[in-house]
Amino acid sequence: MNDQQGGLTKGAQLIPNGMLNDNYPRNMWWCAALADEVTEKPIARWLLEKPVVMYRLSDGTPVALDNRCPHRWAPLSGGKVIEDQLVCPYHGMAFGSDGVCTKVPTQKSIPPSAKVQSYPLRQAGRFLWIWMGNPDKIDHDPIDMAYQTDPNWSAITAYMEVDANWVLIRENVLDLTHIAFLHSGTFKQNDWDNPPEVGMEGDTVFYEQDFPPSPLSPLFCSGFGFEDGKIVKREQKGWMPSLAVSFSDWKVHDISAEPGARVDYVVRGAHIVTPGKRGETHYFFAAAFDVPGVTDEVLEKTKVNILEAFNEDKDLLQQIYALVSDDPRGLDFPEINLGADGAGVRVRQVLKRKLDAERTA
């Protein structure tokens, strides 16, 4: 890895991430929405540069279809779900959950080509996941996120749109050394002055790092019932089991716990990215404390504070993307990697393998 951790590239990225192009593997699960966003009222969302409409059947089953009527291309999301059929707002054509037209109000016959693409949609944790590639290639379920709905955990979710390619976010959340600089006034966890140990198992990227006793970030103290500035022993453990999602565990050891009191805690962040339109990304986030019954007030406070910090990331990543997009040199510009970029470099390796496999399939 030495050739990837230092030195100028020769006029381009050493391992390209394709951030100005379509760099989205299709044969994988991407997050389409928060589970509670999708109801019997259709919702529109651009995913992997395609317009998609999502809704639920009367039994709660989620459905995803192309959001473009095959007659005169009206957005189906502007219609209504009537008896589990999605009815186009323009001429009243109805479509089943498989995308096949079931009714044309102005005639008895239904053209055989009157159908739209349907996409597999499944729930995992608090999110809905979509497969936009070849459905015959589905060989696994979305990443297990059962902890998010476990009553022994207290979780929050959030969402924001970022005007940048998804890889910039993925690399950002796997390199926490920026926290001491970009988030010095929000996270206030300024002890990331050494890169973590990074490795891979298959396509899963992971990192681990131990820290000496230091103040815990105020973003997480309330969730554990700690006072701000509490000194704890901390271990950071992160892993990316899919290009779409990575997790970050803050494993906290209370070094001043009273005898018989709880000592070890975890707050787990889930960073979920899905490409939308070109140059736009849906960023879903979840934070969960392994503490039951954290109050809504504390969870809302935590959410507000986390979003304040993540907007710092958003602002900078949008600046980066705009700069590279507007610069005529684009990706043809020297780029270096530092020791702390070990996880990000591996992200690019996984991405290249997946894209190459789909292009040659």
Quote the CA–CA distance of 302 and 308 in Å, as a whole number.
10
Confidence of residue 292 (pLDDT cuts 50, 70, 90): very high
pLDDT value for 195: 87
Does 10 score more than 60 pLDDT? no
The pLDDT tens digits for 232-243 are 999 999 999 999
Residue 190 confidence (pLDDT): 85
112 Cβ neighbours under 8 A, 6+ residues apart? none
On the question of pLDDT at 192 being above 90, the answer is no
Q: Which residue is it, tokens 């701000």?
A: 228
Identify the residue with better confidence: 224 or 10.
224
- Residue 281: name the closest of 46, 119, 122, 64 by CA: 46
pLDDT tens sequence across 84-143: 999 999 999 999 999 999 999 999 999 999 999 999 999 999 999 999 999 999 999 999
The whole-number pLDDT of residue 74 equals 98
Amino acid letter for position 117: Q
| Helices 342-360 + 166-174 axis angle, to 10 | 140
The band of 5, judged by pLDDT with boundaries at 50, 70 and 90, is very low
Query: pLDDT over 70 for what percent of the chain?
Result: 96
Q: CA angle, 311 as apex, 46 and 153 as ends, to 5°?
A: 85
What pLDDT does residue 6 have? 34
Report the pLDDT value the prediction gives residue 16, as an integer from 0 to 100.
Answer: 76
pLDDT of residue 124: 96
Give the mean model confidence (pLDDT) for residues 197-209. 95
Contact criterion met (CB below 8 Å) for 242 and 255: no
| pLDDT at 11 exceeding the cut of 70 | no
Q: For 258, left (φ over 0), alpha (ψ -120 to 50), or beta?
A: beta
Q: What is the pLDDT of residue 7?
A: 33
User: Which residues lie below 8 Å from residue 75, measured CB to CB, with a gap of 6+?
Assistant: 44, 51, 53, 67, 68, 69, 89
CA distance 230 to 53: 46
Q: State yes or no: pLDDT of 4 exceeds 50.
A: no
Q: What is the residue-averaged pLDDT of the chain?
A: 93
Percentages (nearest 5) of helix, strand, coil residues in the chain = 25, 30, 45
**CB within 8 A of 360, min separation 6: which ones?**
none
Question: How do residues 273-291 score in pLDDT, each as one tens digit?
Answer: 999 999 999 999 999 999 9
Q: CB count, 10 Å around CB of 36?
A: 10
Q: Which residues of 126-162 are buried (b: 16+ CB within 10 A; e: fewer)?
A: bbbbbbbbeeeeeeeebbebebbeeeebbbbbeeeeb
Q: Tell me: pLDDT of 9 over 50.
A: no
Decide if pLDDT at 12 tops 80: no
- pLDDT per position as a tens digit, 25-81: 999 999 999 999 999 999 999 999 999 999 999 999 999 999 999 999 999 999 999
Contact (CB, 8 A) for 269 and 248: yes
Q: Are 148 and 125 in contact (CB under 8 A)?
A: yes
Q: What letters, b where the CB count within 10 A reaches 16 and e where it falls short, cover 289-299? A: bbbeebeeebb
- What confidence tens digit (pLDDT) does each residue in 325-352 have? 999 999 989 888 888 899 999 999 999 9
Task: Provide the CA 211 distance to its chain's centre, in angstroms.
Answer: 27
